[in-house]
Amino acid sequence: MNSDQSVQALTDRLNRVSAQLAQVEQGGSSDSLASIIQELGQMGSDIQSAQSAASPDRSEQVRTELVHCRMVLHEMMSRIEQLRTTSAERYREALGEEKDAFEQLDEARQQSRSPEGYRHRQAFYQLDQLSQQIHQLDGSLLDAGYQMGRSQLAPSAGEAVETDAYTVGTEDDTGLYS
């Protein structure tokens, strides 16, 4: 698979997941959240494929596409945060003053005592897991773009390496370089 196909597969997958998230926002089920979590979990290999398939002459374009993917992830994160807030509010509304007692029960009793409260609590935890996955993917995309940029800027054999006087040296007690 070449870099264009790898990045396109990643972009397509992210767009599909973003559309699934939009359905969840419109009242989708926790099954949809589970599907999104699973889909995001599999994207790590897409990122690695895009990075490894990028040729030096295409790496800048691939890096640009990776930035676009990060923008989609950031948009999704914003939507997830809103969903988490809504889920927490609905959880508190469903349980009212019984919230503390509800939280002391085991999972089976929670589910039977307040199915609605249980559903909102589970959705909140799934959204939290989704948030963590998106942060991990964002970091992976950032790392991939950085590595591609480094490889693109690496001097070829026999080229002199130019140093910047401001970045050479060691850090002293003040946090400044000497």
Token duo for residue 40:
């995001």
CATH number attached to the domain at 3-153: 1.20.58
pTM score of the predicted model:
0.74
Given a cut of 50, is residue 163 above it in pLDDT?
Answer: no
Mean pLDDT of all residues in the chain? 80
One-letter amino acid identity for 1? M
Could you give the CA distance from residue 118 to residue 112 in angstroms, rounded to a whole number?
A: 9
Q: What percent of the chain shows pLDDT beyond 90?
A: 39
pLDDT of 99 reads 93
Q: Given this model, what pLDDT does residue 4 score? A: 61
Q: Are 81 and 131 in contact (CB under 8 A)?
A: yes
| CB 155 within 8 Å of CB 145 | no
DSSP secondary-structure letter at 12?
Answer: H
What is the spatial distance between Cα 1 and Cα 178, in angstroms, rounded to a whole number?
A: 47
Q: How many other CB atoms sit within 10 Å of the CB of residue 43?
A: 22
Cβ atoms of 1 and 45 within 8 Å: the answer is no
The DSSP-derived string for 104-124 is: HS-HHHHHHH-HHHHHHHHHH
CA–CA distance, 44 with 73 (Å, rounded to integer): 13
Tens digits of per-residue pLDDT, 23-70?
888 876 667 888 898 888 888 777 777 777 666 677 777 788 888 889
Coil, strand or helix at 64:
helix
Residue 133 tokens, joined: 């996955």
> Between 77 and 168, whose confidence is greater?
77
Is 160's pLDDT higher than 60? no
Domain boundaries, the chain: 3-153
Sign for the CA dihedral angle at 22, 24, 26, 28 comes to: positive
- The predicted structure's pLDDT at residue 167: 43
More confident residue, 45 or 161: 45
